[in-house]
Amino acid sequence: MKRERGNLIYIKDSDHADAESYIRSILDRNEILKWAYILHDKDIYNEHDMNSKRFGAQYCWADGFEGMEEYSSREEYIEDQMKKPPFIGDKMTDMWVVLVITNKSCNKETVAGWFDRHFCEISRAIDRSEIIDQIKRLTYEDKGSRLIERHLYPDDEVKANFDFRSYVNDQTKVNRRLKRLKDIFIPRHILE
Q: What is the mean pLDDT of residues 148-160?
A: 96
Q: What is the mean pLDDT of residues 44-48?
A: 96
| pLDDT of the residue at 2 | 58
| pLDDT of the residue at 175 | 55
Looking at the predicted structure, is the pLDDT value of residue 107 above 70?
yes
Instruction: State whether residue 127 is helix, strand or coil.
Output: coil
175 vs 44, higher pLDDT: 44
Q: How confident is the model at residue 13 (pLDDT cuts 50, 70, 90)?
A: confident
Q: What is the mean pLDDT of residues 163-168?
A: 92
- How far is Cα 115 from Cα 90, in angstroms, rounded to an integer? 28
Q: What is the mean pLDDT of residues 7-31?
A: 90
Q: How confident is the model at residue 1 (pLDDT cuts 50, 70, 90)?
A: very low
CB atoms under 10 Å from CB of 101, counted, come to 23
| pLDDT of the residue at 180 | 58
Amino acid identity of 143? K
| pLDDT tens digits along 71-98 | 999 999 999 999 999 999 999 999 999 9
Torsion-angle region of residue 5: left (phi > 0), alpha (psi -120 to 50) or beta? beta
- How far is Cα 158 from Cα 164, in angstroms, rounded to an integer? 9
* pTM reported for the whole predicted model: 0.81
Q: Report which secondary-structure segment, H or E, holds 38.
A: strand 32-40
Looking at the predicted structure, is the pLDDT value of residue 177 above 60?
no
Backbone angles phi, psi at 147, to 5 degrees: -65, -35
